[in-house]
Amino acid sequence: MSKIIRTKYNKEGDMIYISHLDLQQLLQRAFRRADIELVHSQGYNPHPKISYGNALALGTESQGEYVDVEIEEELSVEEYLTRMNEQLPKGIKFLKAIDIDRQTPSLASNIEYGEYIFNIELKKSLSKEFVKSNLLDFMSKEEIMITKKNKKGKIVESNIRPMIKNFDILDLQDDCITLEATIAIGSKANLNTNVFIPRILEMLELEIDPLDVDILRRDLYVVQDGELVSPM
């Protein structure tokens, strides 16, 4: 009798530089080495029944990624975690797991928000008053417009303000500022950090390469009764 296990895992260290596709292949090899038999789809091109939460951008650290996997055996979640963590490389660890039923919505369809931490090294010191004032002004706007190419290659304008649920300062030192934000990353609305970070730097009047901003995805959330809750 097969069962579905939902797992929360992290991705840090050198592992932040492997792509989502490489991660999928890495996990499948780990399942084989852990001697955990996966359920495969039917048809001409059978593949393991594994589904992921929203793909993590290359170079982004995470403390809260999720994967659902259907396995052939009645394995306890404790044994499953032990076996997998023995096979996973440094930088990826299965943190916790639960059994889920087949009616549980998929991660990709259900996750709507991600919580992020941005660490920005400063070449000039910023005052707390300046940062707070600019943050309040930024969040009080009804529209924060960006231009981007749509799927047809046409340049269109888009308002990202409704996709920013929370945005605040965590810490400010002379040489570093740490910000936290909860932004939409679901199938209905998705604010890419590659789009959001340049607007943050512009707001703080910082001339810094967006790629130099350290990003940590702290967790992912589904919406239940208007509240943000963990997928497990």
Running along the chain, 232 residues long, what does each successive block of 10 average in pLDDT?
A: 95 96 96 96 90 93 98 93 98 97 93 97 95 97 89 88 97 97 93 95 96 97 95 93
Domain extents in the chain: 3-104, 112-229
The answer to whether the predicted template modeling score (pTM) of the entire model surpasses 0.85 is: yes
Helix (H/G/I), strand (E/B), else coil: 96 = strand
For residue 199, what pLDDT is reported? 96
In words, the CATH class of domain 112-229 is alpha beta
Polymer length in residues for the chain: 232
For residue 105, what pLDDT is reported? 93
For residue 229, what pLDDT is reported? 96
Helix (H/G/I), strand (E/B), else coil: 173 = coil
For residue 155, what pLDDT is reported? 87
The answer to whether domain 3-104 and domain 112-229 are alike in fold is yes
CATH of domain 3-104: 3.30.70.580
Q: 3-state SS string over 25-77? A: HHHHHHHHHCCCCECECCCCCCCECEEECCCCCCCCEEEEEEEEEEECCCCCH
Joined together, the tokens standing for residue 222 give 């589904």
Nearest of 177, 13, 7 to residue 89 by alpha carbon: 13
For residue 67, what pLDDT is reported? 98
CA atoms within 13 A on the CB side of 58: 7
Joined together, the tokens standing for residue 118 give 């941005």
Burial class (CB in 10 A: 0-12, 13-18, 19+), 115: buried
Helix (H/G/I), strand (E/B), else coil: 163 = helix
